[in-house]
Structure 1
Amino acid sequence: MATELIPLAAALKSMKRANSGMTWIRQKHVTAFLRNLATAPKISHDTFDELPDSRTREYVRGLLIEHGVLPQRNAFLIRYESWATQAMERVSDPQNLDVIRRYIRWHHQRRMNLMDEVPRGTFLRAKQEVTVAIDLLNWLTGHDIKLPELQQSHLDVWQSEGPTTRRIAERFLKWAIKTKAAPAGLTIVPHRRGTSPRLPKIGQDKALQQIIHTNALETRDRAAAILILVFGQQAENIARLTWDDVTVTEDLVTIQLGTTKIALPDPLAQPWRELAANPGHELTAAHPNTKWVFRGTSPGRHIHPGHLTTRLSKLFNTRAARLGTLHELTKLAPVAIIAETLGYSPTTIERHATDSASAYARYIAAVNESVLHESPRN
């Protein structure tokens, strides 16, 4: 069985700085883990699952996947199944446990099983929806209310007493009504669109100038920031970019975000040229031949979107910047073109366009009101 670890040892030796790999492997907790692994009858995902859960376990698993010892697997689906098993232990009423089990299995897991690879966003949303659903069901149990007896007044009290994330229960409620687990006609007060803060145009311009003309951020962070401030891209989509999506020549840098390639003029192209010349993986064991533009700390994985937004938060809030950029872009081009070019759904861009037009209409109304109140002399 130990021979199956030879590719891992060879990968560590092939690193540009092999000493860093040996330093890692000599750590007590790493040595102990590898010793346990070496005594197992065979290396498989089941073998790893039987070992104590730890960051070392998942890191070594990732290394072996990256070097062909273990097959690829739908990691977020496995993680969700494990998480859901533990989450169900928090349900306080047996009848509600049956409801939440069906919700997990037939609403979330069935959809995930149809995916080639479950995206991180889908995994996180599913966890959040189940968490809020359990919160609602436990609240009902605490107030001696059965789900089939749920009334709108109960829902209103529950939602008003808790955080704004309770609105996410709307998705569980729709499923419960559809499956006749809850009475029809119940609603959750939805989130009012357009209430999230936007970075104004002057703030966008200031942040972009800092990125272009200063060293406030590292090269890869500057490259990512440009995609948010200029093209309104989400951190999750930026993190998934590969070098197949980027073309760097002596004359031109292009990036494919939607269906067409977008050319980056200088000086916006400069951070991307620097990143292409020095991508940073440098033959590490975790990323021997990676295609990820923004490599992560886990073997074969791209950067965690949350980690990327944290790095960029030194200069701006990524969500506010993205919303501000989309707000401005909808003033400049038709919805269909923006959606197709940037990889957004037309519905999403239409919503921003409507909001942008509404803001402009309010501005015109304010100007007209001002003119009407001016004196004839003025």
Structure 2
Amino acid sequence: MLHGVLSPADRHLILFQRWLRDTLNQITEPDGRQLVARFATWHCLHRLRRFAEHGPITEKQTQQARGEILQAIAFLTWLDQHGRTLATCDQTDIDGWYAGAYTARRLTHAFLRWAMRTKLLPRLALPHHPTTNPAPISQQQRLAALRRLLTDDEIPLLTRTAAVMVLLYAQPLTRILRLTIDDVVQHDGHVSLRLGDPATPVPEPFATLLLRHLDQRLNLSTATNQNSRWLFPGRLGGQPMTTDAIEQRLRTHQIATLNSRAAALRHLVLQAPAPVIARMLGYTDQQTSRIATASGSPWSRYAPGDDHSP
């Protein structure tokens, strides 16, 4: 392929197609095999091919497709064990399938939605994914992690900076990686970070840490990256770091991104009205209000525009 002898092909797509063939061959029931093959071809494989048109398919994308197909097989097997078929499936069956095992079976959503669109399944209600992280770290764990990141010079500076943004400001990695050096605002000896409107104050000692990172950003040695404005420049010119790269750094130092972010946001909405937190950190009012209500925030009845001071 490199020298043009063979036409270009996506490695992950080839491996997925091989896996799909082997998986379908293991289904002994003809009708079930046909159903899964149709779903895999017209939903999963079709989506992967669209992805391949814009660049190489990632391992995560093929993992999700495999998971959706395996859950489709498991659901059809479960129906058969209960004397049901996809055509006779009703709301009781859907509720029974998800009962007590939503997280493990949530990828079944893709198959069921496809089946409803193609008229193979009656229109039924599917359970919604929980909107808040079910297992945030404790406040004690969060403070201990912040203390370690702010004081331990053995941890790489880039890792410390990104991890503190997660633990202090509940920022997702995708948003952190879109920050530029212009989002770090210095005025009258104070530092703030433009995450929302208004900019969020940066307290010490994180302010000093952030400015150190600003002066020591990585991946600026190549000719295409010397003038990069990204706060976390990537190895490719003009691009920020990838979420996989920075998530691996955090995982190496025992920072669970989702759990830490959930804990930070829960703590913040207990300290100030949810709409105020939403505006300053780039969230929607609905997101922070749901978490405030679930956390029992004393500010949960606060409404934007009310004459309250946080």
Structure 2 match to 1:137? 72
Of 257, 264, 272, 1:325 maps to 264
The secondary structure found in structure 2 opposite 1:221 is helix
Q: How far did 1:100 drift?
A: 3.9
The secondary structure found in structure 1 opposite 2:181 is coil
Paired letter, 2:189: D
1:86–1:351 distance in 2 versus 1, CA, 3 Å: farther
Is 1:211 aligned with 2:146? no
Q: Distance in 2 between matches of 1:146 and 1:299?
A: 53
Structure 2 match to 1:58? none
Q: How far did 1:86 drift?
A: 6.0
Q: Distance in 2 between matches of 1:273 and 1:222?
A: 12
Q: Distance in 2 between matches of 1:154 and 1:212?
A: 51
Q: Distance in 2 between matches of 1:247 and 1:82?
A: 47
Of 141, 144, 166, 2:105 maps to 166
Q: How far did 1:233 drift?
A: 0.8
Larger Rg: 1
1:199–1:99 distance in 2 versus 1, CA, 3 Å: closer
Paired letter, 1:213: T
Q: Percent identity of the aligned residues?
A: 23
Q: Distance in 1 between matches of 2:133 and 2:298?
A: 13
Per residue, is there more helix in 1 or in 2? 1
Q: Distance in 2 between matches of 1:335 and 1:162?
A: 31
Q: Distance in 1 between matches of 2:281 and 2:213?
A: 21
Is 1:280 aligned with 2:218? yes
Is 1:185 aligned with 2:124? yes
Structure 2 match to 1:343? 282
- TM-score normalised by structure 1 residue count: 0.59
* C-alpha RMSD of matched pairs (Å): 4.3
Is 1:230 aligned with 2:168? yes
Q: How far did 1:254 drift?
A: 3.1
Structure 2 match to 1:150? 89
Q: Distance in 2 between matches of 1:288 and 1:171?
A: 44
| Cα deviations by residue, 1:267-299 (Å, 9 ceiling, x for unpaired) | 211122111111122423684544332234566
Q: Distance in 2 between matches of 1:283 and 1:112?
A: 31
Q: Distance in 2 between matches of 1:140 and 1:319?
A: 28
Q: How far did 1:353 drift?
A: 0.4
Q: Which has the higher contact order (CA 8 A, sep 6+)?
A: 1
The secondary structure found in structure 1 opposite 2:107 is helix
Residues 210 and 216 of structure 1 are in contact (CA less than 8 Å); yes or no, is this contact kept in structure 2? no
The secondary structure found in structure 2 opposite 1:148 is coil
Paired letter, 1:357: G
Q: How far did 1:329 drift?
A: 0.9
Q: How far did 1:350 drift?
A: 1.2
1:96–1:200 distance in 2 versus 1, CA, 3 Å: closer
Is 1:302 aligned with 2:302? no
1:133–1:204 distance in 2 versus 1, CA, 3 Å: closer
Residues 248 and 273 of structure 1 are in contact (CA less than 8 Å); yes or no, is this contact kept in structure 2? no
Q: How far did 1:349 drift?
A: 0.8
- TM-score normalised by structure 2 residue count: 0.70
Residues 142 and 260 of structure 2 are in contact (CA less than 8 Å); yes or no, is this contact kept in structure 1? yes
Q: Distance in 2 between matches of 1:282 and 1:307?
A: 16
Residues 84 and 104 of structure 1 are in contact (CA less than 8 Å); yes or no, is this contact kept in structure 2? no
Unaligned 5+ segments in structure 1 are 1-35, 54-78, 362-378
Q: How far did 1:335 drift?
A: 1.9
The secondary structure found in structure 1 opposite 2:205 is coil
Residues 140 and 147 of structure 1 are in contact (CA less than 8 Å); yes or no, is this contact kept in structure 2? no
Aligned residues: 285
Of 199, 208, 215, 1:261 maps to 199
Paired letter, 1:133: E
1:347–1:216 distance in 2 versus 1, CA, 3 Å: farther
Is 1:312 aligned with 2:273? no
| Cα deviations by residue, 1:203-234 (Å, 9 ceiling, x for unpaired) | 32222222223314211111112211211111
Residues 1-378 of structure 1: matches in 2 within 5 Å? 37=2, 40=4, 49-50=8-9, 53=11, 89=21, 90-91=23-24, 93-104=33-44, 124=60, 128=64, 130-139=65-74, 142=77, 143=80, 146-151=85-90, 155=94, 159=98, 164-185=103-124, 187-188=126-127, 190-191=128-129, 196-247=134-185, 251-284=189-222, 287-296=225-234, 301-313=239-251, 314-357=253-296
Q: Distance in 1 between matches of 2:17 and 2:107?
A: 21
Residues 338 and 349 of structure 1 are in contact (CA less than 8 Å); yes or no, is this contact kept in structure 2? yes
Q: Distance in 2 between matches of 1:344 and 1:83?
A: 38
Residues 248 and 276 of structure 1 are in contact (CA less than 8 Å); yes or no, is this contact kept in structure 2? no
Residues 296 and 303 of structure 1 are in contact (CA less than 8 Å); yes or no, is this contact kept in structure 2? yes
